Every structure is written in C-alpha cells, then in structure tokens.
Chain A
Amino acid sequence: QQPVQSPQAVILREGEDAVINCSSSKALYSVHWYRQKHGEAPVFLMILLKGGEQKGHEKISASFNEKKQQSSLYLTASQLSYSGTYFCGVGNNYGQNFVFGPGTRLSVLP
C-alpha cells in the first residue's frame, strides 16, 4: 500500500525551512527519502530504520515515529539546489516490498 505524502507541493524562498511528511497504514521497518530533479533519476538522501538508526545526508535531517507510522524530512535554510520532487519509500524489514510515495514537489526561489 502506497504511503501518503504531504504537502503535494511547496514553494519556498532561499533560506526558508520546509517539512515533508510521509505516513503509512502499515507498520514501518524502514523509511527511505530520495530527491529527483526533472529528467534525472532519484538520488538517495536518507534511510531511517526501526530502532533509531539513521544513515544520510549532512544538511538534511529526518525523524521516524514507528508508533505513528510516520516520517518527516526537514530541510533547513533551503538552497536553490534543493528544488526537486521528494519521495519517501517504505519496505519491510528485509528491504523488500518496496513502495514509493506519490512525491512532494519542492520549488526554491531566489
């Protein structure tokens, strides 16, 4: 079942902050975050694993609430390069049955 993302789209000025949410109706073992720029392939940002382990990006942070089956991606002091579509992806505890969310389109304006 596909996770739900919110908001669908957001427009920011450089330096502003944004939060993108991802929620699932089924238990989460891992949450992936990817960014995709127009015409390019998705690029890995971060993984959050059940139990608190995180692997990821220096300038982007995320949280994972296993109980609420939610994850949030925090983009602080956004830069023009942050523009793109952000996808969360969820899988089982073996990284199988992987499903991406519908995406959140982020536009950062100068």
Chain B
Amino acid sequence: EAGVAQSPRYKIIEKRQSVAFWCNPISGHATLYWYQQILGQGPKLLIQFQNNGVVDDSQLPKDRFSAERLKGVDSTLKIQPAKLEDSAVYLCASSKPGRSSHEQFFGPGTRLTVL
C-alpha cells in the first residue's frame, strides 16, 4: 500500500513570505496529523484532523499557521507570514480512527528553511 505523501520535500523562503505544504494520507486513514520538528527535538503536534474536522489545534500558532483538510483526504498546512523560528521539518502522519490508539504512519516531511 502507498505511504503518506508530502510535497515539496524542501523549501527555502525569506522571512515574511508565505509557504504551503501538502499531504496525502494513506487511503482509508481518517485521522491526519501535522507535526513541526525542530532540529534535535521531538515532533510537536500542530493540528489533528478526524476526517475533515479538527480534533486538536491547541498548539497551532493561529495568527500565522492555518490548515485545512477538504473532503477528508488531502490536507494543506500554510504559514503566512513565516518567521525565522519556523525553520523546521514539517511532518504529516495518518492513522486509523478508533477508540483505542493506533500507530501513526509518517510521510517523509518537508524541510523548511526561513532566511
């Protein structure tokens, strides 16, 4: 089965510019996560979707970050405007829904550098 797809793989932008990342989860996985991973740290959950509804966005900096998951499949994460501290790898993951916790399958990530 195909894994989680993300694009682009790398992005370099100037501060105050905008950027968008795309994620296509594993087919049939209703739960989708966006993580930010700064070098040397663990992934930090930004937003979690169940189908096209937001389950958790408590750590999403909503003044500059936004995410959507139209039709409950693909998702887009946007940063507008970017700051230097946004330089990180942005990981998308998906999992099956359910009352118990399920393993998360991660995409390859998008490495963002903000200059």
Contacts and interface: CB of A to CB of B under 8 A. Distances in A.
B61 interface: no
Contact of A98 (B41, B48, B98): B48
A95 B41 contact: no
A85 to B, nearest CB: 8
A49 interface: yes
Interface range on chain A (Cβ under 8 Å from partner): 20 to 34
Interface of A: 2, 29-30, 32, 34, 40-44, 47, 49, 53, 55, 87, 89, 91, 93-103
Given A42-B43, A94-B99, A94-B101, 13 more contacts: A32-B103, A43-B106, A44-B104, A49-B101, A93-B99, A93-B100, A93-B101, A95-B101, A100-B42, A100-B43, A100-B44, A102-B41, A103-B41
Interface of B: 31, 33, 35, 41-45, 48, 55-56, 58, 91, 95, 98-109
